[in-house]
Amino acid sequence: MSIVISHGDKGGVGKSLLMCAAIDYRANKKGFDSEKLVILDADPRNADVFRMFDGFPAYGRSERISLATKEDWMKLVDRIQDGEGKDLDYMLSMPAGIGSILSKEGAKFGDLVGHLGHDITMFWTIDRMPDSVNLLKRAMFDIGGKVKQTILVKNLFFGEADSFTRWDNSFLRQLFLLQGGIEANLPELHEWVIDQVIGDQLGEEDVKDVLLKMGVLAADKMTASQAHRTVPFSELLKRTDLRLTLRGEMEEWLRRVEVFFKQIELQTAEKTGTGEPAKKSRKE
C-alpha cells in the first residue's frame, strides 16, 4: 500500500503534469486495478489533476480534498484508516503554498500512515529558480524523514538537464543524494501541445456578464464556450479526429515518459533492495 505525493510548493513548476503522467503511466501497466487507486487533488484553486481524471473511473477514483487545516489532515488519515483491508493506494497532488501547514502536520501524518502500513513516495518537481531548492530544503526537514523515497524531478520544459545549475551546485543536493534521494528528468511537453491538450479552460462567463452590463460586449458574445474538456493523455490518443502532429508529439512524449518512470522504478528497486521491477508497462 502506497501514498504517492506530487509536490513542489510553488505554482508553475509542473507538479500537476507530473502527477497526471504518473497516473496515466500507472493505469497502463499490466494488472492495474482501478478499484485500488484513489486520486486526491488538494489544490483549492486549480484542481487540474481532478479535472483530468474526473469521469474516467478506469484510472481510479478521483476526488477533491482540502489540506488547509489540522482537521483536514486528520480527516485524510481517518479515510486512509477506513480503507484498511482494501489494499488501496493513493496519489496525492499537492497545491502551491502547502509548505506552512505541511511543516506542522507532515511528520505526524507520516507517522500515522506508516502505522497503517503505507509507504510515502514524494516527487518534488523543480524549475531552475532558487525557490525550488529552498522549498525542498524545508520539506526535507519537515517530512523527509517520513518519506520512504524522494524523487527530485527536473522539468525539462525549463531547459536542458545541465542548466539546472542552482540545484546541481547546491549543498542540499549533496545531502539529498547521501540520504538516498533519486534524480530524474521529466521530458519536455511542448507548450503548443499542452495548449492543445488542455484546451480553452477559461471560465469567463462572469467576466462577460460584467462587460455586457457595461455595454462593451454584444449579447451574441455571451454564448457558452465550446472548448473541449481536459482528458487523460491515453484517452486523447483514442480520438479519431486528433491531428497527426498532435498525435505524433503525444505518442513520442508518452514513450519518453514511460522510460522516465521505468528508470525511477529501477533506481528505487536498487536502493530499497526490492529487486527488479516489472518490465511490462503499457497495456498490450
Q: Kindly list the domain boundaries of the chain, sorted by start residue.
A: 2-272
Q: What is the pLDDT of residue 264?
A: 95
Residues of the chain with pLDDT under 50: 225-227, 276-281, 284
Kindly write down the DSSP assignment for every residue of 194-250, as one continuous string.
Answer: HHHHH------HHHHHHHHHHTSS-GGGGSPP-PPPP--HHHHTT-TT--HHHHHHH
Q: What is the pLDDT of residue 226?
A: 45
Q: Which of helix, strand or coil describes residue 55?
A: coil
Q: What is the pLDDT of residue 223?
A: 62
Look at the block and give the residue holding cell 533519486: 182
Q: What is the pLDDT of residue 277?
A: 46
Look at the block and give the residue holding cell 479519431: 240
Q: What is the pLDDT of residue 284?
A: 46
Q: What is the pLDDT of residue 200?
A: 53
**Superfamily designation of domain 2-272:** P-loop containing nucleotide triphosphate hydrolases (3.40.50.300)
d(CA 53, CA 17): 12
What are the distances in angstroms from CA 242 to CA 10, 13, 18, 233, 284? 33, 27, 23, 12, 21
Which residues have CB under 8 Å from 93's CB, separation 6+? 6, 15, 16, 19, 39, 40, 41, 42, 43, 49, 50
Q: What is the pLDDT of residue 243?
A: 87
pTM of the model: 0.86
Please give the grid coordinates belonging to residue 16. 500537476
Q: What is the pLDDT of residue 279?
A: 46
d(CA 20, CA 254): 11
Q: What is the pLDDT of residue 208?
A: 74
